[in-house]
């Protein structure tokens, strides 16, 4: 794809290319010749081997740069009424297992704010995290849920959920609200119920808003 500069001309670019080649040979023809040979070898290697690589585009690279600059600029902006948004961390576990919780959180953010689905994997090492991240993010995109997905491994739900609270987000793009499902089976496992309430308390300690969703059929 050709550059989209206002005054871009392919003929001027072609002229400048030949000018650069002339300058290379004029300064040191031996070094220029070696450079051409190395470039030709690399080109032929890539052409015939056809490595499975995604080279992307310069436009996509610029999107990344702009995003980083925007986050840094946002971090320098003071909080006020007009830039307040409910930035939600929703502890879904696997988003595929609790769709009502994911859809409800998506309705709250309305694709205009930050939504992060948090997942605590127990015990550590039970799943391949990279594969899990990629498949879950594809699932969210397929269901048109504008959300990020974060996962961590822990020996207990309490420690993993507190890790999500403290590490999710980046700068001002960090959650200010925790959303969880109602634990209907609290009487079946009092230890896990205690961990559940400990996470709620940790959210209050970090000045998070808190939401608990309860549905008729339950979430678990």
Query: What pLDDT does 78 receive?
Result: 86
Query: What pLDDT does 3 receive?
Result: 56
45 pLDDT band, cuts 50/70/90, is confident
Instruction: State how far the alpha carbon of 182 is from the alpha carbons of 72, 88, 110, 168, in Å.
Output: 36, 16, 22, 22
**Nearest C-alpha neighbor of 89 from the set 159, 35, 161, 153:** 161
Q: How is residue 88 annotated by DSSP?
A: E
pLDDT top residue among 126 and 19? 19
**Nearest C-alpha neighbor of 194 from the set 151, 161, 152:** 161
Query: What pLDDT does 33 receive?
Result: 92
217 pLDDT band, cuts 50/70/90, is confident
Tell me how far apart the alpha carbons of residues 199 and 183 are, in angstroms, rounded to a whole number: 12
Q: What is the pLDDT of residues 59-91, one digit of tens each?
A: 888 888 898 998 888 888 888 888 888 999 999
Q: What is the pLDDT of residues 170-211, one digit of tens each?
A: 888 899 999 999 988 888 889 999 999 999 999 999 999 999
Query: What pLDDT does 101 receive?
Result: 93
Residue 1 has pLDDT above 60, yes or no: no
Residue 7 has pLDDT above 80, yes or no: no
Query: What pLDDT does 110 receive?
Result: 85
Averaged pLDDT for residues 35-46: 90
The three-state DSSP-derived secondary structure of 89-152 is EEECCCHHHCHHHHHHHHHHHCCCCCEEEEEEECCCCCCCHHHHHHHHHHHHHHCCCCCEEEEE
Mean pLDDT computed over every residue of the chain: 88
Instruction: State how far the alpha carbon of 156 is from the alpha carbons of 39, 136, 182, 200, 219, in Å.
Output: 54, 22, 18, 15, 20
Separation of CA 214 from chain center: 28
Q: What is the pLDDT of residues 109-123, one digit of tens each?
A: 987 899 999 999 998
Phi-psi category of residue 161: left, alpha or beta, with phi > 0 → left and psi -120 to 50 → alpha? alpha
- Residue 108 CB neighbour total at 10 angstroms: 15
Q: How is residue 58 annotated by DSSP?
A: H
pTM of the model: 0.73
Query: What pLDDT does 218 receive?
Result: 67
């Amino acid at each position: 794809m050709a550059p989209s500069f206002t005054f871009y001309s392919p003929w001027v670019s072609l002229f400048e290319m030949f000018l650069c080649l002339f300058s290379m040979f004029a300064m040191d023809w031996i070094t220029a010749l070696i450079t051409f040979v190395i470039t030709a070898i690399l080109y032929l290697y890539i052409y015939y081997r056809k490595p499975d690589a995604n080279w992307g585009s310069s436009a996509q690279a610029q999107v990344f740069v702009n995003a980083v600059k925007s986050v840094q600029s946002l971090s320098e902006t003071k909080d006020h009424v007009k830039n307040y948004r409910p930035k939600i961390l929703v502890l879904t576990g696997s988003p595929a297992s609790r769709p009502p919780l994911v859809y409800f959180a998506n309705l709250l953010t309305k694709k205009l704010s930050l939504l992060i689905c948090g997942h605590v994997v127990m015990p550590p090492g039970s799943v391949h995290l990279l594969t899990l991240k990629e498949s879950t993010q594809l699932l969210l995109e397929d269901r048109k849920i504008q959300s990020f997905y974060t996962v961590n491994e822990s020996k207990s739900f309490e420690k993993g959920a507190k890790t999500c609270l403290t590490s999710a987000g980046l700068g001002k793009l960090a959650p200010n609200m925790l959303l969880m499902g109602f634990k209907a089976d609290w009487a079946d496992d009092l230890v896990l119920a205690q961990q559940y309430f400990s996470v709620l308390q940790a959210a209050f300690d970090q000045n998070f808003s808190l939401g608990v969703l309860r549905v008729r059929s339950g979430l678990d």
